[in-house]
Structure 1
């Protein structure tokens, strides 16, 4: 299964993605503002791989002049439904539909791994203003929580993927990004939690690309087994999901 197939698999579950996926804590954008030395209000921002607008919404709420870039038709339609007043254009990080030197900040929330850095880095640098910045972040798996680690390992075995922090590249990504861009790069990690119903938790699992490319019987079988295990561990059917946001910000020296 190619990365492109997995990236576009989200279109088959856009509404489920919007309803169940976690957002990000305010500290993420606080740290971006701290690194930039200015508030995001009125900053011109492009949110690339915006999906249904989970991160775009947070940028919009900060008062940013934000535009979303999203390749998927169904994801873009869901974006329009939840954020009708925010502009969105079709495209991806490898070929940004943005003018040269037009943006103060370009963000990739949970989407950088779907780009080809040989193309996406030059594209980001082309679209950024001279004092602009690039911000990349992911919700990653909190492996120090025993039940979360055990579940992640079950998911990895079932889907045939490596049991590593979800959606985050290796630990040298900050160094690699600095080398590719020539910019100074800062890395921060922010731990946060949310409490959700069991159904929401299972829908979140089912909205991941590794699951969406499986056939329906395989998905249903795993989620049925997981529901039984989690009901035993959480009889009130409320779960505290723990995440660690891995944030990289690259800006001019």
Structure 2
């Protein structure tokens, strides 16, 4: 991990409460798709949720009856996780160095986190820790940029940051993964309606803005609020997403 990437990865710790309050969760259909592609129910499954952050995905897995252990390297994110999920086991670690024995997991999940790993390490680690027939599931919430207002916002963000930090880069990353492992893929569309200020706080919780600096981020979000009021004068924003899910089964001997 480069110094710049490391800085972005660690930037979430100072904004963990903002992250927990404003980042989107995932629709029930996503977990249905995980069960379908994995060929087994989540209830009773031994699941490692890696890069668990504040526990957004972990909570959904627990609600499905999975036996979940969360893995998170960050102090700030870990403290927020403990506040919201005090009874769920949480261990310090990351996907490049999983602190678990061989063949000990039925499912390893990465919600919005796989891109922070070194795949030359995280792929062998996942295969080591998974039992034969177990599954590695990766997913991302990607804003639906087929909608004109989201496409326009993406362009404004790109101009502010000096590069495109949006969904297309994530899509490129995940398409490359299919050549490294035998992934099955599904995409789930969903949306949520939230106050405009929460939508802006969601934008501000992304690492590119967390490292941009408070003044520049605040200036962008002030201008963005003006732009979005033209589209959402009632100050209620409908965020539309496509969850990009990739799941690979560890071969049995």
TM-score, with structure 2 as normaliser: 0.94
Tell whether 2:171 aligns with 1:173: no
Contact 1:110 1:167 in 2 (8 A): no
Q: Secondary structure, in 3 states, of the residue corresponding to 1:2? A: helix
1:122 maps to which residue? 124
For 1:192 and 1:249, locate their aligned partners in 2 and report how far apart those are by CA, in whole Å. Answer: 19
Contact 2:22 2:199 in 1 (8 A): yes
Residue 176 of structure 1: CA displacement?
2.2
User: Is 2:183 the partner of 1:185?
Assistant: yes
Kindly indicate whether the alpha-carbon contact (under 8 Å) linking 2:45 and 2:67 is maintained by their aligned counterparts in 1: yes
Corresponding residue number in structure 1 for 2:26 = 24
Superposed CA deviations along residues 141-187 of structure 1, whole A, max 9, x for unmatched, are 21110001110111122112225416624153342232xxxxx3201
Matched ranges for 1:1-253 at <5 A:
2-162=4-164, 164-165=166-167, 168-170=170-172, 172-178=175-181, 184-252=182-250
Look up the SS of the partner of 2:35 in the other structure.
Answer: helix
The one-character-per-residue Cα deviations of 1:90-116 (angstroms, maximum 9, x if unpaired) are 111111111211100000000000000
- Alpha-carbon distance between aligned partners in 1 of 2:48 and 2:169, rounded to the nearest angstrom: 21
Q: Which runs of 5+ in 2 are unaligned?
A: none
Matched residue, 1:181: none
Instruction: Name structure 1 gaps, 5 residues minimum.
Output: 179-183
- How many residues are paired up? 248
